[in-house]
Structure 1
Amino acid sequence: MRNLIVVFLLLFSTTVYSQSRVDVSFPKKDLFALGSYYYPEQWDSCQWERDLKKMAEMGITFTHFAEFAWGMMEPEEGKYDFEWLDRAVSLAGKYGLKVIMCTPSPTPPVWLSKNYPDILIQRDNGMKIQHGRRQHASWSSDRYRSYVGNIVSRLAERYGDNPTIIGWQIDNEPGHYGMTDYSENAQHKFRSWLKKKYGTIDELNKTWGNTFWSETYQTFDQIRLPNAQELPEKPNPHAMLDLNRFMADELAGFVNMQADLLRKHIDKKQWITTNLIPIFNPVDPVRMDHLDFTTYTRYLVTGHKQGIGEQGFRLGIPEDIGFANDQFRNFVGKAYGVMELQPGQVNWGLYNPQPMPGAVRMWVYHVFAGGGKFVCNYRFRQPLRGSEQYHYGMLLPDGVTMSPGGEEYVRIAEELKKLRAAYNPKSRMPEQLASRRIGILFDMSNYWEMEFQKQTDQWSTMTHVNKYYNLLKGFAAPVDVISEKEDFTKYPFLIAPAYQLLDSALVERWTKYVENGGHLILTCRTGQKDRNAKLWEAPLAAPIYHLAGIDKLFYDHMPSNLYGKIGSDGKEYTWNNWADVMTSLPGTEIWATYSDQFYKGAASVIHRKSGKGTVTYIGADTDDGLLEKEVMRRVYSEAGVKTENLPYGVVKEWRDGFYIVLNYTSDVQQIAIPEKAEILIGNARLEPAGVVVWKE
C-alpha cells in the first residue's frame, strides 16, 4: 500500500510540474483571468477588508501588491516592517484572491537616496535626479543593486512559500522613463562593457570609424557615454548603437539579477515576470531571459493618438494591443499577460478623454484574443491624494460605487463563464488560418539604428512596421512578431520590414528558408549594414542581392509636399517617404516600376522564385500603404492562399476554438459570421467598441 501511495504522489507531482508555473496559476481550462492593482499602504487599514471583498465579488481573481512600498517595508535602514503587508496578503487570501508580489526597486526610500546620493541617475544635462516619484536610481550602481538584493531576498524569504502568492513582478515598468543614465556609475560600466565587447581600443576605434574628425581614443578610460548635450552635433552613430545596447543590457541585468535572487527562496509553483512598456528605450525583452514570462503595460486613450474616425480618440488604435500581444507571446516562456490596462480616464495624457462605453471591455477581449493569460487593470481605487488623483479606478472616489470601467469588468467576468463552458481543449487552428500564418522579424538594434539615422524627416520605423502589421491583420492572418531566436520554418510566410542590420548567417538562414518552401518578404533599407552599423565595402545592401534577385540598388527621398509615382498591374500609386530603386538579375520578376523621376522604368518591387519558395522585395515606403497591401495580397495569392479583406480597425482573431472580432472604428461594422456558427457573445452588427465571439 505504501508503495502505491508513493507511486501516486510521484505521478501527481509529474502532472503538476509538467505544466509551466504560469499554467498552474492560470489553468488552460479557465482560459483567462482578471486582476486589479491595490495599494494597501495608500488606504486606511480599516478599509482593506471591504475593498478586497468587493474586488472578489466583482469577479477579480488576483491582485497586485507592493511595487512602490519600499519605504513602508524598510522605513529606516535595517529596520523592517512587514506586518501590514502580512495582513493585506491574509485578507486577500480570505476572499479567495491570489496575490502577485512585487519587488520595490523602482522606488528607493528617502534614507537610501539621501544617505547614498551616488545611487541616483544623472540626466544628459548633468543634473542628478533627486528623490521623489520613481525610477531615479541607477541600475549601474553596485551599491543600489546591493540594497535591492537585500530587500528582494527578505521579501522572498517571507513570502516565498505563502500559498496566496502566485508569482512575482520585478520592478514596475523599468526604463527610467526613456532617459539615459549619465551617472559616473553608468560611465564606468559602459567602459567595462566596451572593453569586454572589443577587447582592445584599436578594435573599438576601427569599428566606430574614429579616425574621422580625430575621434580616436588611446584608452577606454577616455570614453564617455555619447551625449548630444556635450557635443556640437549628433554623436557617432556606432557609439549611439553601443549606448542603446549597453543600457538594454544594464536593465536586463538588473531584472535578471532580481529573478535569480527570488529563485533561491520561492516555491517552485511561484513564477517571475516583469511588466514592460513595448518598443521603449532602453527596453529589449529578448535580453530578460531569466524570467518565466513577460507582461506589458498599455494605455490607449491618452490624447496622444486620434484613432480611427471621429470617435477614435476614445477607442485607441488596434496595433497598440495587437502588436504587443503578438510580440510578447513569443518571448521567454511563450506566454504573456497585460499587467497594466487602464479601466477608464487617466491623469497624465496630452488631454484625458473618457473612453467610449465598451472600450475597456474591448481592450480586455483583445488581450484574450491574442492568447494572453490575464489582464490586470491599473487600478482598483481612484486615489484621493498624491500622484494620480485623477486616474480612474474600478471604483469611484467614494470607494464604493463602481466606475463605468468597473461595471465592464463585472460584465466580462460573467461572459467568461459562458466561454469556459463552451471551451474545447482539443480545438486546433483551422487550416485556412494556419496557411496564412506569418512571422514578422523585429529587432531593437534595427529600431535604435534607424531611429537615430532616419535619413529623411518622414521616416518612422514603427510606422513602417505597423503598416505591414495592420495590412496582415486585414487579411485575418495569424501574426507572430519574432526575434532571430525563433525557428523560421514554422511560418509559411516571413517578413523582415526594414531589417537594416544583418550578417551572412542570417542571409543563409533566409536562403534555406526560401529554398525549403517559405515565402520571404523584404522591404526597403534591409541589409544596408552589418551588425555594428558599418556599411558594406560593396554595393549598398550587397549581401541580399543574390537572394532577392537584385543587380543594382540605390535609394531616394522626396520632399513632403511632392509625390513620385509607381505603376503596378495597371494601377498607379504614390510615394515620397523612401524608395529603393533597383535593377534586377535575370529570372527575377518585376512587379512594380517607378513612373517618373530620372530613374523612370526602374524596379520598385521585385519577386523571385528560389527552390520551393519565393522572395519578394518591396522597395517603396508609401503613406497610404496601398501598394504594399496589393503586393502582399499577390504574394499570398500566388502561394495559393486565400485572405480576407477587413477594414483597418476591425480585428479578427482565433483562440482556443473561438473567433473574436473587435471594432476599433467609429462606425457600425457588419461582420460575416457563418450560418452554422454558435454566437456566444454579441452579434454580427458590431457597434464601435463592440465585441462578438463565436464557435464554428
Structure 2
Amino acid sequence: MVKKLQEDKIKLGVCYYPEHWPESLWEDDFKRMKELGFTYVRVGEFAWSVFEPEEGAFSFELFDRAVNLADKIGLKIIMGTPTATPPAWLTKKYPDVLNVTQEGITIHHGERRHYNYNSENYRKLSSIIVREMVKHYKEHPAIVGWQIDNELNCERDVFYSESDHFAFREWVKKKYHTLEQVNEAWGTVFWNQTYSDWDQIYLTRTTNQGSPNPHHALDEKRFISDSVISYARLQVDIIREHTTKQWVSTNGLFGHLNSHQLTNELLDFFAYDSYPNFGSVADDKSEKPLRDRKWSWNLSVVRSISPNFAIFEQQSGPGGWVTRIGQPSPKPGQLRLWTYQSIAHGSDMVLYFRWRTATKGTEIYWHGINDYHNQPNRRVQEVDIVGKEIEKIGEQIAGSEFFAEAAIVINYDNDWDGELDEWYGPYASKSKNDWFKAFQYSHVPVDVFHLTGDTTVEDLRKYKVLILPHMAIVEKETANVLTDYVKQGGKVVFGCRTGYKNKTGQTYTLPFPGYLADLTGITVEDFTRAQPFDDITQIHMKNGKAFAAHDFNESLQLNGDHLEVMATYANSYLEGKPALVKCTVEEGISYYFGGVFDLEIASMMIDELALNNYNHLLALPENVELSIRRKDGENYIFLLNYSDKEQEIILKQNMQNLLTGEVIYEKVLMKPFDVLVLK
C-alpha cells in the first residue's frame, strides 16, 4: 500500500520553539500564525531536557501551557520526539550512547545528533521518554501527529561505537548464518581477509589506503539503514500502542537510510525538509546549473516515497550557523516560489522553518519568517500572500498527484555501492543530474522511481520511458522484469557500466551488461576511461549530429536482429565502433549508450523518445519549470519562474489562473520568481 499524506486541502504551518521564548510572546505569536492562515505548529523535537530535566523526573508543564494556548487559538500541533539531542545528564551517565568515528574518536555532547542507534542504554532511555510523552499527550485534541526524532542520519550517517560493532556482528550472523557464506559474499579470499571466528568481524575500520573491502562496505551501509529503521520502530511501536488517533511520520532525506522501507513499514507518510538555497550556493560548474531548481529533484525523490507528502521545514530566510556563513536571503518572490515548488511536486502540507530566528545557539543565523526584533518584514508579507492564495486553491489541489510519463530510476544498493566504486558511482550522479536538467529544460515532467527486487511489470507500466543511466548491480530477476516491461511497449535507456555486478557487489563472469545482454542486443567489446591528456572522444549520430563522449567509452558488439546503430565513435582507437544502439524487443525499445550522459546527449534522447513536452498547450522558456498535478481527470499546471528576470510564456488556449481567477491566453509575462497555477 502506498503511504501518503491525507489532507482535505493544502495546509500551511510553522516550526516553533516555545522553550526559546518568554511566555509573554506566545499568545501574540500564535494569533499572528492564525492570521497568516497557518493550521499546524511543529514543536518539541529538541526539548528532551524540558520534558525530562533529570533521569526519571518528567515535566510537561511548559509544553502543556503552550499546546493548550495554541489549541485555544485554533492551531493544531505536530509533536516531535526529542531524541535527536540527548541531554547532558544522559551522555554523562551513559557515555556508551555517543557516536564514534571510524578512527575511534568519540563525538561528544555539544551539538546535536551525537548518539548511536544501537546503544542498549539509548534505546531504553528513548523508549522511556517517548512512552511518557505519548501517554501524556495521546488524548490532547490539538495534537494531530508525531514526528519521530529529527532528520535521521543528518550531519553523520556512519556509526562505529562498540555497540554498533557488536550489533553489526549479530546482523551478519542473522543474514549469512555461517562464516563460509560471509566469506563468499565478501570475497574475503582476496588479500587474505578470510574470517575464521565471528569475533573477527567488525564494521569497516581505518585501512592503509582508505579502501576497505567493497562488499563488506556495502553490507555496512545496509546495516546502518536497518539500525535506523529498528530505532525508529522502537518509537513507532510505542506510539501505536497508545494511540491510533495521531499519525506518525519523520523528516529528512539523508544517506545510508532506505527511506522507502522506513515509510512502507512504519510511517503514515514521509516528510521532507526543503532548503533550495543550498542549491543556489553550491559550487556547480556544470553546464546550465539548476541551482535552487535542483531541489525539484530532491522533491521528486520524496514523491517516490509518498506521492503526497509533507514539508516539515520549508526555507523561509537566509541560512547559516555561527560556523557557516551559509546562504543569502531569499530574493523577493523566492520564498513564495519555493513554497509552490514543494506543492507542485506533491506536498499537501508546508511548514516554514521557523517562526522567529533564534537569538541563542549555533543557529542564530538560520533565519525564520520573523527577525529577532519581531517587527514586520517582507518575508512575513510574502507568507501572508501565500496563505491567502492557498485558501483559494488548497481544496482543489489537495490529493492530486504529480503526473509524468517518464521516470529516472534509483536503487539504494547501487547508490551505496557507488559511493566507494569510482568506476560507476560518479557517473551515475552526473548522468542523473544531466538527465534531470534535460527533462526540466525540455519541459517534460519526470518522476523518480525506486527499483527493488519486488518491483513488478505492473509497477513500471505507468511510465512510457525509464532511464537507468549506470546501474551496475542488476539481478537476473530485475533484468527479466525490465525485459517484460519493454516487450509490452516500454522504452528503457541504459548507459555504460551497467549490469555487471550481483547483489554483493561482486562482478558476474558474464560479458557486460550481464543479464541485460538480450534486452539490449549488445555486449561490450572494449572499454576505456577517458584521460585528460587525450583528445575528447567524439560520437557521430546517423542524423549528422556530433557529440563529445566524456569520461568513459564502451564499444558495443551487436548480437541480434532488430538493432540500429544510432551513433559511432569518430576518433580514438574506437573509431567506427558502435556507441549508441537501439534494440526493438517486441512492442518496445531499449537503448544502450556506451558512455556517460551529459545535458546535450540527454536532451537529444528526450527528442528521440517522443515524450510529451506540452508544447501544444504552452511555449515556455528554459527558466520556467513545468509541473503537472492531476486529480479526477483534471490537470493543474504549475509554472515556476526561477529567474530574476521577466519571462514571456505563450498559452495556446484559454486557461484559468487559479491564483487570481482570471482567464488568460496568448502572451503572458511572468514576473521575476513568479508562479502561475493554471487549469
TM-score, normalization by structure 1: 0.89
Please say if 1:356 is aligned against 2:324. no
Please say if 1:452 is aligned against 2:443. no
Partner Cα distance (1:224, 1:238) in 2: 13
Please say if 1:544 is aligned against 2:523. no
Cα offset, 1:675, TM superposition: 3.6
Q: Are the counterparts in 1 of residues 619 and 649 from structure 2 also a CA contact under 8 Å?
A: no
Q: Deviations over 1:487-526 (max 9, x none)?
A: 1122122222211111111011011111111112222222
Cα offset, 1:254, TM superposition: 1.2
Structure 2 CA distance for partners of 1:644 and 1:241, relative to 1, 3 Å? farther
Q: Deviations over 1:443-497 (max 9, x none)?
A: 12211212211138x9353332121122223343332212225511221222222
Q: Are the counterparts in 2 of residues 393 and 403 from structure 1 also a CA contact under 8 Å?
A: no
Matched positions, count: 656
Residue in 2 aligned with 1:257? 234
Q: Secondary structure at the match of 1:286?
A: helix
Residue in 2 aligned with 1:397? 372
Residue in 2 aligned with 1:563? 536
Q: Deviations over 1:113-152 (max 9, x none)?
A: 0001111111122111111221111101111111111111
* Structure 1 spans left out of the alignment, 5+ residues: 1-17
Residue in 2 aligned with 1:481? 448
TM-score, normalization by structure 2: 0.91
Amino acid at match of 1:198: Y
Q: Are the counterparts in 2 of residues 526 and 541 from structure 1 also a CA contact under 8 Å?
A: yes
Amino acid at match of 2:434: K
Q: Secondary structure at the match of 1:175?
A: coil
1:339 to 312, 319, 326: 312
Residue in 2 aligned with 1:463? 430
Partner Cα distance (1:107, 1:217) in 2: 37
Structure 2 CA distance for partners of 1:601 and 1:641, relative to 1, 3 Å? farther
Any residues of structure 2 matched to 1:296-315 within 5 Å, and which?
296-302=272-278, 304-305=281-282
Computed over aligned residues only, the root mean square deviation of the Cα atoms, in angstroms, reads: 2.8
Residue in 2 aligned with 1:242? 219
Partner Cα distance (1:391, 1:498) in 2: 37
Q: Are the counterparts in 1 of residues 487 and 588 from structure 2 also a CA contact under 8 Å?
A: yes
Any residues of structure 2 matched to 1:17-96 within 5 Å, and which?
22-23=5-6, 26-27=7-8, 30=9, 32-96=10-74
Partner Cα distance (2:525, 2:359) in 1: 61
Partner Cα distance (1:352, 1:93) in 2: 35
Q: Secondary structure at the match of 2:171?
A: helix
Cα offset, 1:282, TM superposition: 1.8
Structure 2 CA distance for partners of 1:459 and 1:307, relative to 1, 3 Å? closer
Which aligned segments of 4 or more residues in structure 1 are displaced greater than 6 angstroms? 18-21, 307-310, 424-429, 637-645
1:167 to 110, 122, 145: 145
Structure 2 CA distance for partners of 1:408 and 1:637, relative to 1, 3 Å? closer
Residue in 2 aligned with 1:600? 575
Please say if 1:527 is aligned against 2:505. no
Structure 2 CA distance for partners of 1:98 and 1:128, relative to 1, 3 Å? same
Please say if 1:266 is aligned against 2:243. yes
Cα offset, 1:35, TM superposition: 1.1
Partner Cα distance (1:159, 1:515) in 2: 54
Structure 2 CA distance for partners of 1:426 and 1:404, relative to 1, 3 Å? closer
Amino acid at match of 2:76: K
Q: Deviations over 1:2-32 (max 9, x none)?
A: xxxxxxxxxxxxxxxx999942xx21xx2x1
Structure 2 CA distance for partners of 1:411 and 1:425, relative to 1, 3 Å? closer
Partner Cα distance (1:21, 1:525) in 2: 35
Structure 2 CA distance for partners of 1:219 and 1:693, relative to 1, 3 Å? same
Cα offset, 1:590, TM superposition: 1.0
Amino acid at match of 1:147: L
Residue in 1 aligned with 2:552? 578
Any residues of structure 2 matched to 1:59-208 within 5 Å, and which?
59-208=37-186
Residue in 1 aligned with 2:407? 439
Please say if 1:505 is aligned against 2:457. no
Q: Deviations over 1:24-80 (max 9, x none)?
A: xx21xx2x1111100011111121111111111122111101000001100010000
Partner Cα distance (2:191, 2:575) in 1: 38
Any residues of structure 2 matched to 1:636-675 within 5 Å, and which?
636=610, 648-656=622-630, 657-675=635-653
Query: Which stretch shifts more, 541-550 or 552-561?
Result: 552-561
Cα offset, 1:428, TM superposition: 9.5
Residue in 2 aligned with 1:610? 585
Residue in 1 aligned with 2:605? 631
Q: Deviations over 1:389-421 (max 9, x none)?
A: 12211111112x234322211110111223247
Partner Cα distance (1:646, 1:553) in 2: 42
Q: Are the counterparts in 2 of residues 474 and 646 from structure 1 also a CA contact under 8 Å?
A: no
Partner Cα distance (1:651, 1:515) in 2: 33
Partner Cα distance (1:41, 1:611) in 2: 64
Amino acid at match of 1:339: F
Query: Which stretch shifts more, 677-686 or 215-224?
Result: 677-686
Amino acid at match of 2:432: V
Q: Secondary structure at the match of 1:130?
A: coil
Aligned-residue sequence identity (percent) comes to 30
Amino acid at match of 2:170: S
Cα offset, 1:622, TM superposition: 4.3
Q: Secondary structure at the match of 1:658?
A: strand
Q: Are the counterparts in 2 of residues 474 and 645 from structure 1 also a CA contact under 8 Å?
A: no
Amino acid at match of 1:653: S
Structure 2 CA distance for partners of 1:560 and 1:263, relative to 1, 3 Å? farther
Partner Cα distance (2:601, 2:394) in 1: 42
Residue in 1 aligned with 2:468? 496
Residue in 2 aligned with 1:377? 352
Q: Are the counterparts in 1 of residues 525 and 554 from structure 2 also a CA contact under 8 Å?
A: yes
* Structure 2 spans left out of the alignment, 5+ residues: none
Cα offset, 1:308, TM superposition: 10
Amino acid at match of 2:185: T
Cα offset, 1:439, TM superposition: 2.5
1:323 to 297, 313, 332: 297
Q: Are the counterparts in 2 of residues 308 and 665 from structure 1 also a CA contact under 8 Å?
A: no
Partner Cα distance (1:237, 1:20) in 2: 33
Structure 2 CA distance for partners of 1:317 and 1:645, relative to 1, 3 Å? farther
Please say if 1:285 is aligned against 2:256. no
Q: Are the counterparts in 2 of residues 159 and 266 from structure 1 also a CA contact under 8 Å?
A: no
Q: Secondary structure at the match of 2:678?
A: strand
Residue in 2 aligned with 1:14? none
Any residues of structure 2 matched to 1:685-696 within 5 Å, and which?
685-695=669-679
Structure 2 CA distance for partners of 1:639 and 1:47, relative to 1, 3 Å? closer
Partner Cα distance (2:303, 2:625) in 1: 18
Amino acid at match of 2:70: A
